Amino acid sequence: MPMSYPEYVSRENGFKIAAIITRTFAKTFYFASRFLPKEKKSAAFSLYAVCRMSDESVDNNNSLDTVQRLKKIKENIYSIYNGAKPQNSIWMAFKDTVDKYKIPAQYFYELIEGMHMDLNKNRYENMEELYNYCYKVASVVGLIMLKVLGYKDSRAEQYAVNLGVAMQLTNILRDIKEDFLRDRIYLPQDELKMYGISEDNISNEKIDENFRSFLKFKIDQARQYYIRSEAGIKIISDVRSRLVILVMKELYSGILNSIEKNNYDVFSRRAHLNNVQKTIDVLKIIFRGEYL
């Protein structure tokens, strides 16, 4: 069912609702966001809420209804960027944020293009195709958030793209079972073939040496993208924002560690970090002081 919240229409209430949506659907980001200044935190939540509205439309509705929902979201974004008055609290908070931080409308249009890919494409032939998908549904979100966090030079944008790809690859490896149940296989077909893995193997949840070798290969690939994102943290404008990005990077990459600890079983258990593990990892990050 689509998200619905009783509300008193106001920008302030929009920020409150956005915080609830973020806390519900983006637990790792919400956990990391506690280090942000209040103003940036509220702005980030308002942007995430709109991104989540697009994502939920794809996952929870039939194709015809979803197309209409995505069309409506795109129309709302277009109208806001062209001076229309928002009609509800979330869109009021969204307008306040995109105006203040000068976020290009094109980012949101690319995100919606990525959501459309989930309606029209459920297999990816190679990594080039998958990279394009990862860019649109994850790296673009990183570029949007980067505008809020602030950065010292344009090189930060490519580092944000790399981090987005790394995080989306992590999601894909964690969610192989859930995605297959939606008839989606994001794992590149040519790579699966190279490792001798068929769709029947995935359907039957077969974990053999071929499957483990394949996951090792993809985990290494994701880690390479995390490594390529690291230098960008140094050119984020302020200390607290740098800490948040570093926390997100470490916690998300920790999911890959969890997959390994589970002996590459992504079918019977979902790789994740509990709050104790997250807290320990954050304390290690603070102790190392890499964000300073």
- Residue 98 in this model has a pLDDT that exceeds 80: yes
Beta carbons of 147 and 103 less than 8 angstroms apart: yes
pLDDT of residue 64: 67
More confident residue, 287 or 130: 130
- Residue 90 in this model has a pLDDT that exceeds 80: yes
pLDDT of residue 288: 86
Question: SS3 letters for the chain?
Answer: CCCCCCCCCCHHHHHHHHHHHHHHHCHHHHHHHHHCCHHHHHHHHHHHHHHHHHHHHHHHCCHHHHHHHHHHHHHHHHHHHCCCCCCCHHHHHHHHHHHHHCCCHHHHHHHHHHHHHHHHCCECCCHHHHHHHHHHHHHHHHHHHHHHHCECCCHHHHHHHHHHHHHHHHHHHHCHHHHHHCCCECCCHHHHHHCCCCHHHHHCCCCCHHHHHHHHHHHHHHHHHHHHHHHHHCCECCHHHHHHHHHHHHHHHHHHHHHHHCCCCCCCCCCCCCHHHHHHHHHHHHHHCCCC
pTM of the shown model = 0.92
Give the separation between CA 182 and CA 76, rounded to whole angstroms. Answer: 28
Q: Which domains does the chain show, CATH number per domain?
A: 1-120 (1.10.600.10), 123-292 (1.10.600.10)
Poorest-confidence range of 90-99, 232-241, 255-264, 280-289? 280-289
- Residue 3 in this model has a pLDDT that exceeds 80: no
* Mean pLDDT of the region 73-100: 95
Q: Which pLDDT tens digit goes with each residue over 46-61?
A: 999 999 988 776 765 5
Task: For residue 6, name the pLDDT band (cuts at 50, 70, 90).
Answer: very low
Nearest-5° angle of CA 60, CA 94, CA 5? Answer: 50
Give the separation between CA 10 and CA 83, rounded to whole angstroms. Answer: 17
- Residue 247 in this model has a pLDDT that exceeds 90: yes
